[in-house]
Amino acid sequence: MRWLSRALAIIAIPIGIASFYNVYADEPALESTAHAVACGARGARCSARMSKQARMPWKRAYVFTGGDGRVQVDCTRPFVFLGAWSCARAPSVSY
């Protein structure tokens, strides 16, 4: 039974550290990517500004306000904690 608690600790500690990093780490490049996705084809002419941000262990959600009204961009990783971020416009603003 003691081996089971050690095994769970060995599994839980790295997952906790990865969750903490995934939620609290600042990533300005990710915010720039989300802004570019929110602007779409307008590029440099875009006046959208980030008005809200939600950080969760499995994704980051940004809400931009500007020319198109409110646009939400969701950024996720392919394996929750691992892999490169990819951002896409959400069909509607959910928060």
Spatial CA neighbour of 75 closest among 93, 88, 64: 88
Average pLDDT for the chain: 89
For 57-81, the pLDDT digits (tens) are: 889 999 999 866 899 999 999 987 7
Q: What is the pLDDT of residue 71?
A: 92
Residue percentage of the chain with pLDDT more than 90: 52
Spatial CA neighbour of 81 closest among 60, 62, 57, 61: 57
